[in-house]
Structure 1
Amino acid sequence: MTRAIFYTATTLDGYLATEDDSLDWLFATPGGEGGDEGFQRFLDGIGVLVQGSSTYEWVVAHEDLVAHPEKWPAYYGERPTFVFSTRALPGVPGADVRVVAGEVRAHWEQIAQAAGTRDVWIVGGGDLAGQFADAGLLDEVRVSVAPATLGAGKPLLPRVLGSDRLRLVSVAQAGQFAELTYTVDAAAPSDG
């Protein structure tokens, strides 16, 4: 069964990005560029990526992917990428980017079908991962905690998820990062 996994990095004080959506803090942290064996094993099990528009726009701008689409596979391979947005976004030539709008549950069947026998990686942001949690679709949270603080920014997961829903299943060290993995128990989707 296809699982939805929110795999991300956060600062020690719980932020994914700066207030203006920058991830420069992550790439300034030794090991923050990813690519280690554990990450590659994770990526091998992923069939689809899901992103919010801010994450997608930052990656596209940071790597100048419209002008250099050949860089896309280095980040995401040939996997389909669903981007949740309420506005038009630039495409990356040759990449399978599908911009969708609305509730995550309305798109889950299409996302899961595109993943095939593999899992779904919720790349970011935290609010999108929270929407998956609200819909009872988030199965796992993997967080790499970086030795950095921002003081303010975009929070890791702007939702209330108590210990009745989160269960720590592993702790590891990857260079300067502490890696925490939690399973998420589904809750009844909210009516709100």
Structure 2
Amino acid sequence: MARVIFHTATTLNGYLADDEDSLAWLFAVPGADQAENDFGRFLDGVGALIMGSTTYEWVVDHEKLLDSPEKWFYSGKASFVMSSRELPVVAGADIRFRTGDVSALWTELVAAAGDRDIWIVGGGDLVGQFADAGLLDEIRVSIAPVTLVSGRPLLPRRLESDRLTLESVGRAGQFAELVYSVRKPE
């Protein structure tokens, strides 16, 4: 059965992006390339991914994917985007726009992932929806030596320690990498 994994980077004080939804802070961290190398192994185990519309729009804009669709990172993987708005499609990419509750999408996500994992790319509220539905299995977070005054929170939900178990701690360059398993809610 596919596991649902939220794999992301965050600032030391728990922000995924700044107030303008930018990740510029992340790419300025020394050692980010080393952390990126380790990410390739993770991505090999992913069969499907899901993201919110803000994350999708940032990736499309930042990488200029409408002009250079060959730069789409996730070739060969079903990519779901949760959005109630019509968004541009990256040519040649397997992008599936969906609305509504993540539980209603579960069967389709699992089928698309096959025998591999489902990666929640972002954002934090989407991850929260999976946690609320009892569908989140693991949180992998790389903490960067950066603080922001405000921004988009890592996971805007309350998850108590009785649902989170620290599985591993690592280091990649300047990043502290934490992996937590997530217990289903009662």
Q: Which TM bucket (shorter chain)? A: over 0.9
Q: Which residue number in structure 1 is paired with residue 68 of structure 2? A: 68
Q: Which residue number in structure 1 is paired with residue 184 of structure 2? A: 186
Among 143, 146, 165, the alignment partner of 2:144 is 146
Render the CA deviation track for 1:88-115: whole Å, top value 9, x for unaligned.
1110000000010000000011011000
Q: Which residue number in structure 1 is paired with residue 55 of structure 2? A: 55
1:32 maps to a residue whose letter is A
Post-superposition offset of 1:67? 0.8
SS of 2:111 mapped into structure 1: helix
Q: Which residue number in structure 1 is paired with residue 36 of structure 2? A: 35
Structure 1 distance, partners of 2:30, 2:99, is 35
The answer to which of 27-36 and 99-108 deviates more is: 27-36
Structure 2 distance, partners of 1:146, 1:41, is 20
Structure 1 distance, partners of 2:97, 2:134, is 22
Segments of 5+ residues of structure 1 without an aligned counterpart are none
SS of 2:56 mapped into structure 1: helix
Q: Which residue number in structure 2 is paired with residue 17 of structure 1? A: 17
1:175 maps to a residue whose letter is G
Post-superposition offset of 1:35? 3.0
SS of 2:32 mapped into structure 1: coil
Structure 1 distance, partners of 2:53, 2:31, is 25
Q: Which residue number in structure 2 is paired with residue 80 of structure 1? A: 78
SS of 2:143 mapped into structure 1: strand
Structure 1 distance, partners of 2:110, 2:181, is 19
1:173 matched to 2:171: yes
Contact in 1 for aligned 2:32/2:174 (Cα 8 Å): no
Aligned residues: 185
SS of 2:36 mapped into structure 1: coil
Q: Which residue number in structure 1 is paired with residue 3 of structure 2? A: 3
Q: How does 1:127-166 map to 2 (within 5 A)?
A: 127-166=125-164
Post-superposition offset of 1:77? 2.7
Structure 1 distance, partners of 2:124, 2:86, is 21
Q: Which residue number in structure 1 is paired with residue 123 of structure 2? A: 125
Post-superposition offset of 1:127? 0.6
Q: How does 1:104-123 map to 2 (within 5 A)?
A: 104-123=102-121
Segments of 5+ residues of structure 2 without an aligned counterpart are none
SS of 2:41 mapped into structure 1: helix
Post-superposition offset of 1:118? 0.1
Structure 2 distance, partners of 1:78, 1:23, is 25
| Identity value in percent | 62
SS of 1:20 mapped into structure 2: coil
1:157 maps to a residue whose letter is L
Structure 1 distance, partners of 2:52, 2:124, is 9
